[in-house]
Amino acid sequence: MINILVERARRSYDFRADPNKPDSFENNWKNNSLDRIVIRDGDDALCRFRCQTVANYCFGAMATASTVAHGDTVAPGRFTVRAFVPPRNFHGEIHAITRARDIDGEWIDHEAMQTAENGFQNGRWLIHDRFSFSAGADTNCAWSAGCFIMSSADLAVFNGLLRKLGIKPGDLIPGTLIED
């Protein structure tokens, strides 16, 4: 059965270049994209890609975590990927991360969102690339607000392999996130 394994390096949590400075684009670039996302058939790895899984974009409008700045990071454990969801304002073909918890302990639902106590939905946990529309290219760093971020080239290969394996839009793929 096709599944996804995410291998997070614990060093990814150490993303501040200067731990005494506040979170910012200028400071949160260290240890970027050390993690791996693996497409597997059963336990057999078919392809591995570098990605950023720790929420290092945890400032400004993206400062939504409850307990720690990077609290919107998907927690180790099981999750489900909904394949090829509508991209809205994202570049390329993307996927939703669903049925997971973040490290704050909050539930990421079947719509890849969280629902606050007042019923307001927020966030959108995705697998997408690091393409910047303003720059017209990938950014030098992957900026995650909880998503799994890959290069545009890697996401294209990832998507091609999923299609080759028969994955269609809306299909659900089981996933597991582990840390070293």
Q: What is the mean pLDDT of residues 122-134?
A: 90
Task: Output the average pLDDT for the chain.
Answer: 93
pLDDT digits (tens, 9 = 90+) for 26-67: 999 999 999 999 999 999 999 999 999 999 998 877 777 777
Tell me the whole-structure pTM to 2 decimals: 0.93
Beta bridge partners of 37: 6, 49
Average pLDDT over residues 103-111: 90
Tokens of 104: 């704050």
**Spans of all domains in the chain:** 2-179
Tell which residue, 114, 128, 106, has the closest CA to residue 53. 128
